[in-house]
A = this chain, B = another copy of it.
Amino acid sequence: MDNPDTRFDQMLSRLRLRGFRLTPQRIAVLRILSASEGHPGAEDIYTQVKNEFPTTSLATVYKTITLLKELNEVLELGFSEGGNRYDGKNPFPHPHLICVKCKKVIDADLESLGDLTEELTQDTGFEILSHRLDFFGICPDCKGEGK
């Protein structure tokens, strides 16, 4: 409907620039990460890639994700249960709303975080490099259904 997938092109050209090979499997992972709204997990990505390239292995998905993390082209949301989730559209730290029922992950930008960071730097002497902010709750959809 709107303009071409700029984020996908961006990721592609950055890999090419650094001399990484653009294999079909890799490209498929890039496309999924650059396009998906839903913060997919490794298994989700694997399932989708297999639709296009049935021989793809889960290990290759992980290897591609690892590569993209090193290049700062994907944000990893680590969880101790249920596997990690990935954001390829906006690979910089930003707040998330996570539904504890359906496990949906939604972006939620809050400008005021920068202020907190400066405040903490001054109060504690920490050199703050990054952050992670998640809110857990029940999304409108899940509040509607059932109990």
How far apart are the CA atoms of A100 and B138 in the complex, in Å?
31
Q: How far is the CB of A52 from chain B (nearest CB, A)?
A: 27
Asked if B133 and A128 make an inter-chain contact with CB atoms under 8 angstroms apart, the answer reads no
Q: Which positions in A face B, CB cutoff 8 Å? A: 76, 78-81, 84, 97, 99-100, 106, 108, 110, 112, 116-117, 119-120, 123-140, 143
Asked if A136 and B127 make an inter-chain contact with CB atoms under 8 angstroms apart, the answer reads no
Asked if A120 and B138 make an inter-chain contact with CB atoms under 8 angstroms apart, the answer reads no
Q: Which residues of B contact A106 (CB under 8 A)?
A: 124, 126
Besides the known contacts A97-B120, A108-B124, A132-B133, 4 further A-B residue pairs in the complex with CB atoms under 8 A apart: A110-B116, A124-B140, A125-B143, A130-B136
